[in-house]
Homo-oligomer: A and B are copies of this chain.
Amino acid sequence: MLKEERFNHILKELKSSNKVFFENLSKELRVSEDTIRRDIDHLSKSGLLVKVRGGAMSPSVNPLSFQDRTGLFSDAKKVIALKTQQLLRDVQTVIMDGGTTLLAVAASIPIQSKLRIITNNMALIPILAHHEQVDIIVLGGMYNRVTQTNLGIQTALEAQKYQADLYLMGTCAIHSSKGLTAAVHEDGELKKVFMKAAAQTAVLSNHEKLETVEFFNVTGLSDVDTLITDLPSNDARLNAYRPFGLEIL
C-alpha cells in the first residue's frame, strides 16, 4: 500500500468523523502506530489536519481569509475599534500597522467609507475586500508569517514616501515613564517612520498593555496625540498618562 493511500484513508476518516485515533488507524491500515504518527505529522505540516493527543482533528475553518466575523474579536478590541471610528471620519489617509486590534478596527469600518489605507498588515486586505471606496496601499517587505506583516528596511523606505493624516498604532507596550516600546526591533523602527509620516498618531491599546515595557524604544508619550483603550476615558488607571497632554478616548 502506498503512503499516499494511507494519507487518503486518514483524511477520509477525518472528514466523516472529525477525529482520528492512532490506535484505530494502525489496525485499519496494518502498520505500526509510529508510522501513523509520522503520517499525521506530515499531514499536519501541510495544514490538512491538526495533531491532538491520541490522534488528529480537522483543521479549524478559514485560517486567514475571513477574520471579519466580529465574533472572533474580544470585547475589549471591539470597544477600541468603535472608539477609533470617530477619528476615521475626518481623515483621508490612514496608516495602520500590525496587530489584531487593527483588524477589529478595519472590520468595523462602514462599508461605504471613503478612505486611503497605507499598511504593512496583510491580514487587513481580506477584511477590506468589499470596501470598494477604500484604497489600499500595501507596503512591501519581508513577510512575517506570525504577525502577518511585512517588515524590514524596504518597508520603512516605502513608508517614507507617503504623507498621512493619521497613524493608528496597534501592538506596543505603554509605560508612563518609559514611553512606547516594541518587542521586535524592525517593528519598533517602522513605528518611528510611521509617526514621522503621519500628522497625528493614535495608539490603540488593551488596558493589559498599560504600564508594560518591551525591549526596543519607539518614542516618548509626548509625541503621541491620542490614546485609545478599552477603559472609560475617566478611568483612574489612565491618570498616569494625562500629564503628557494626549487626548484619551
Contact indicator A132/B145 (Cβ below 8 Å): yes
Interface residues of A, count at CB 8 A: 48
A113 to chain B, nearest CB (A): 12
Oligomer copy total: 2
With a cutoff of 8 Å between Cβ atoms, the chain B residues found around residue A47 in the complex are: 67, 129-130
**Of A85-93, A135-143, A241-249, which stretch is located at the interface?**
A135-143
Bound complex: CA A67 to CA B19 (Å): 21
The answer to the question of A52 belonging to the interface, with a C-beta cut-off of 8 Å to chain B, is yes
The answer to the question of A73 belonging to the interface, with a C-beta cut-off of 8 Å to chain B, is no
Contact indicator B129/A138 (Cβ below 8 Å): no
Bound complex: CA A2 to CA B49 (Å): 15
With a cutoff of 8 Å between Cβ atoms, the chain B residues found around residue A111 in the complex are: 45-46
The 6 closest A-B pairs by CB, nearest first: A140-B140, A136-B143, A47-B130, A64-B126, A138-B140, A139-B140
Q: What residues of chain A have their CB less than 8 Å away from a CB belonging to chain B?
A: 2-5, 7-8, 11, 19, 42-43, 45-48, 52-55, 57, 61-65, 67, 111-112, 122, 125-126, 129-130, 132, 135-143, 145, 150, 154-155, 158, 161
